[in-house]
Structure 1
Amino acid sequence: MAPTATAKRTSVYLYIPNILGYLRVLLNVVAFALCFSSKLLFSILYFISFVCDGVDGWLARKFNQVSTFGAVLDMVTDRVSTACLLAILSQLYRPGLIFLALLGLDIASHWLQMYR
């Protein structure tokens, strides 16, 4: 009998796009921790996270590493970073209610999209 070749499978948690998603979480945590003390560094880190958001989907399709875990990680990271940004903007600019209304619209629209 011929030996069977076992395909080495990478864990979904170690997919390249998911690792980039973890990096986005880390960038956002550091960015929001520094948002009031260093606005320039906050802007740079948030922008890098924003660019990584576009790159991770491209990498997932390029390397055929699309997963439900990655989609949820991306969506949750997007929602949390948007919520944090809008909460900070509501503290910096008046009237802050506008930013909180945008936050409600963002959460409601994504909830309706997922529910549908």
Structure 2
Amino acid sequence: MTLTIPTLLTLFRILLIPVLVAVFYLPYAWTNIAAAAIFLLGASTDWLDGWIARRFRMFSAFGAFLDPVADKLTVAFALLLVVERHDTPWMALLSAIIIGREITISALREWMAQVGAHGLVKVAGLGKLKTIVQMVAITCLLFEEDLLGLPVFRIGEWLLAVAATLTLWSGWDYLRAAWPAMRQKG
């Protein structure tokens, strides 16, 4: 198996997860800024690997499998860290919605592929918008501090609520698209 540049970037994103966790728990005042920067770097490589793959036609089956896994792992671990530090019912609920949707849609995609209807649950524009809002929200939540008078953490909370709403909406779209196949007798 040849590793393409997009796949190497995806692997790098996965390797950033333990770095993010380690930095998050370091006993220094700057670790929130470093954790936000690490998460933002990972989010940027997500965009970059997709752009390179499309632009230079560097597709691989392994990369197609690994990219969404990297995305879901990164988001899940980052949200766990945020809830660890800000253990409110609101933060836990929003995080549970986002993580729960990711697990559900992954299972749905796997099942749809097994029944030969995987084309019904492809990533749509709404899912991409959800991802962007989610990545900005998590970066703000990890950063935590006010910046230039802006309440970055509060902005992150609101953006996470928007991301959770988009998560439910796009999840509903996926389920609705898959419903005819799900209703068939097996």
Fold agreement, TM-score > 0.5: yes
Unpaired stretches in structure 2, ≥5 consecutive residues: 113-186
1:16 and 2:5 aligned: yes
Q: Match for 1:17: what amino acid? A: P
What corresponds to 1:49 in structure 2?
A: 42
What corresponds to 1:106 in structure 2?
A: 102
1:30 and 2:26 aligned: no
The list of structure 1 runs, each at least 4 consecutive aligned residues, that deviate by more than 3 angstroms after superposition, is: none
Q: TM-score w.r.t. structure 2 length?
A: 0.52
RMSD of Structure 2 on Structure 1 (CA): 1.7
CA distance in 1, matches of 2:80, 2:25: 12
CA distance in 2, matches of 1:18, 1:104: 26
Q: Of Structure 1 and Structure 2, which has the larger fraction of its residues in helix?
A: 2
1:32 CA displacement: 1.8
1:72 and 2:68 aligned: no
C-alpha contact (below 8 Å) 2:10/2:66 kept by paired residues: yes
Deviation string 1:48-87 (CA, Å, 9 cap, x unpaired) is: 1101101101111222211110011111111111111121
CA distance in 1, matches of 2:96, 2:72: 13
1:28 CA displacement: 2.4
Q: TM-score w.r.t. structure 1 length?
A: 0.79
Q: Match for 1:68: what amino acid? A: A
What corresponds to 2:81 in structure 1?
A: 88
Give the share of equivalent positions with the same residue, in percent.
28
What corresponds to 1:115 in structure 2?
A: 111
Aligned length: 105
C-alpha contact (below 8 Å) 1:20/1:56 kept by paired residues: yes
Unpaired stretches in structure 1, ≥5 consecutive residues: 1-10
